[in-house]
Amino acid sequence: MARLFAPEEETFRREVQEFLSTRLPADIRERMLTGARASREDKVRWSKILHSRGWGGYTWPTEFGGPGFTPVQRYIFEDVAAQAGAPEVVPFGQKMVAPVIMAFGNDTQKEFYLPRIASLEHYWCQGYSEPGSGSDLASLKTRAVRDGDDYVVSGQKAWTTEAQDADWIFCLVRTSNTGRKQDGITFLLIDMRTPGITVRPIITIDGAHEINEVWFEDVRVPVKNRIGEEGQGWTCAKYLLEKERLNFGGMGFCKREVARLKRLAAGVQRAGRPVLEDPLVKARLAAIEMRIIATDLTNLRFLRAAECGKTAGLPAPYLKILSSHLQQDIAELQMRTIGAQALAVRSVAPTNQRLELASEEATVAPTYCNLRKTTIYAGSNEIQRNIAAKNLLG
């Protein structure tokens, strides 16, 4: 059987495994492996551990303070970390706004923001979608008017993930209504402590506070916080979205949830036999595992091409479609497998926003509900298929 990784890559995998076994806090590991969500504190604590190892900006090149991992090493790190129960790093900082700052920011901006993103001193969120501007992002209406050395920002962002925890938000704002609508968009970095910003929670169907409305009422943002030139925001946005969609390629989360499915189902009896012996369940599980293997191989093909400076097909839209459907299908099979046990009692403690779960099984139904979003965010799968068709067919 052909080897997927070179000897030095296998050595790197073992290094990551050893690091995780000794440095990942046990309480965080347990929460993640049993289906709970990582809190802000969990993510900050883990990010500081990574930063102390020199892996705080593990996706970055050495010139910006990263370890200079190859694309395949980044894949290995994320795959091993997810299966071990490590929280995902906050993607809005490290994987989204940081590459934009690297590509379009000036030296002062790079020197100020990048170290603080790597250490998670600055916790970021994304200000793109609006109530009437989701898939058609170029129709956004949040307005920024130049006033001396500031922009005055007014408008609303919606579905803003983790805005309640964030220190900073990167925003697309409209600075002009002339010409193409894409030409009037500017990219701003905004301190969430600025007067005039209001965060209002949106409680989702799973009972969690993950997303928010963010309102801007005459918020003054220094012009020095603009990335690139005025009107260059759409270029920055497209660059960022490409990075965001590539984040879907890793299958570590899916492998972790399949392992959890098997563990949870081990104690479930149906019709006098373990549920995992049901031929229909076995067939669906085998199909999912084969899809994970196929997606892994596809992802590695793209990464190998990237290492050689080549482009292999349509990685961003393609991987986003494959991964998002896999996440949903695994959650659905978890629900079907453990049945009524997925409806265990749960409640939200009145003193905080954390979902308190009575048992591990009680995480299954909320996760199933939450993962309905994966085919919508980062550009809906319908949009991704349109992008793929346009590139393939012209």
* Catalytic residue annotation: 244
What residue type is 89 in one-letter code?
Answer: V
The gap from C-alpha 15 to its chain's centroid, in whole angstroms, comes to 24
What residue type is 25 in one-letter code?
Answer: P
DSSP 8-state assignment for residue 339:
G
Using alpha carbons, list the distances in angstroms from residue 308 to 78, 96, 283, 311. Answer: 21, 23, 38, 9
Q: What gap in Å lies between CA 340 and CA 232, rounded to an integer? A: 52
By CB neighbour count within 10 A (0-12 exposed, 13-18 middle, 19+ buried), where does 272 fall? Answer: exposed
What residue type is 65 in one-letter code?
Answer: G
Closest to 365 measured CA to CA, from 383, 394, 338, 386: 338
Q: Concatenated DSSP letters for 172-237?
A: EEE---SSSGGGGEEEEEEETTSTTEEEEEEE-TTS-EEEEEEEEEEEEEEGGGEESSTT-HHHHH
Strand partners, 145: 152
The alpha-helical segments, DSSP class H, found in the chain are 7-23, 26-33, 40-52, 71-84, 91, 98-104, 107-118, 233-246, 252-265, 279-307, 315-338, 364-370, 381-393
